[in-house]
A = this chain, B = another copy of it.
Amino acid sequence: MEYTVQGLAKLAGISARTLRYYDEIGLLKPARINASGYRIYGQKEIERLQQILFYRELGVGLEKISNIVGAPDFSQVKALREHREQLLKKRKQLNVLIANVDKTLAWAEGRISMTDKEKFEGFKQQMLDDNEKKYGQEIRAKYGDEQVNKSYQKLKNMTEEQFAEVEKLGSSVLAALKSALATGDPAGELAQQTADLHRQWLSYYWDSYTKEAHAGVAQMYVDDERFTAYYDRIQPGAAAFLRDAVFIYTGVNK
């Protein structure tokens, strides 16, 4: 198929002026000029224009594009794979921006707090990849992705009052655990009260509470040394004691 300027322009969703400009700067020359001086574009030009638009969409300057697609060793397939990768990156960034809007909305309605830094998340390009690579992996691998990640987010978004209340609840869990430990009975009333406090505390972090998840976290307190260390400060074996109490409390036994 052959196209005049406006034909190709309409096809590609750009202006005729843009095509003339691309001709002028040598980025995209028509296949030929007809007897009346009209620009006529053919199949090759269509493919080249597609490449140009992909690069443009990704924010590459026209001169750089010219160098890239004009290079003698330019590979369309290779370029397309590159485009794919870059577009996926862009989509990721868009998702961050959307999350930002949601968060800002929640903040504007007073439901959560928000740092200045968070208010600009998603606007800056790049850099996030590195963070993702550096930290993302180990942290998520250990914690089990989704749930823990979400908890952390929710924690970051609390208002100060909420945060204070959580802190209070957290320390009362520790206090109750201390008393319960003295009895030595994870099924006893004190231990069960501790488990209940622990449930309340967790509910601040989670959207939905389930017995299974609660028991899962209790088990993690024993499996993950960071948590174990935290609870065992009170007394060695405290983490295991809390886990036993929660298992009994929830009725879940793994």
Contacts and interface: CB of A to CB of B under 8 A. Distances in A.
A89 to B, nearest CB: 11
A77 B105 contact: yes
Nearest to A87: B98
Interface string A62-105: 00000000000000110011011001101100110110011011
Contacts of A84: 98, 101-102, 105
Interface of A: 1, 11-14, 46-47, 50, 53-54, 57, 76-77, 80-81, 83-84, 87-88, 90-91, 94-95, 97-98, 101-102, 104-105, 108-109, 116-117, 119-120, 123-125
Contacts of A83: 101
Given A47-B119, A50-B119, A83-B101, 18 more contacts: A13-B123, A13-B125, A46-B119, A50-B120, A53-B123, A54-B97, A57-B97, A76-B108, A77-B105, A77-B108, A80-B101, A80-B104, A80-B105, A81-B105, A84-B98, A84-B101, A87-B97, A91-B98
A236 to B, nearest CB: 43
A88 B98 contact: yes
A109 B81 CA distance: 12
A203 B234 CA distance: 67
A120 B13 contact: yes
Contact of A116 (B11, B104, B116): B11
A76 B94 CA distance: 20
A106 to B, nearest CB: 10
25 contacts: A12-B124, A13-B123, A13-B125, A14-B123, A46-B116, A46-B119, A47-B119, A54-B97, A54-B101, A57-B97, A76-B108, A77-B105, A77-B109, A80-B101, A80-B105, A80-B108, A84-B98, A84-B102, A84-B105, A87-B94, A87-B97, A87-B98, A87-B101, A88-B98, A91-B91
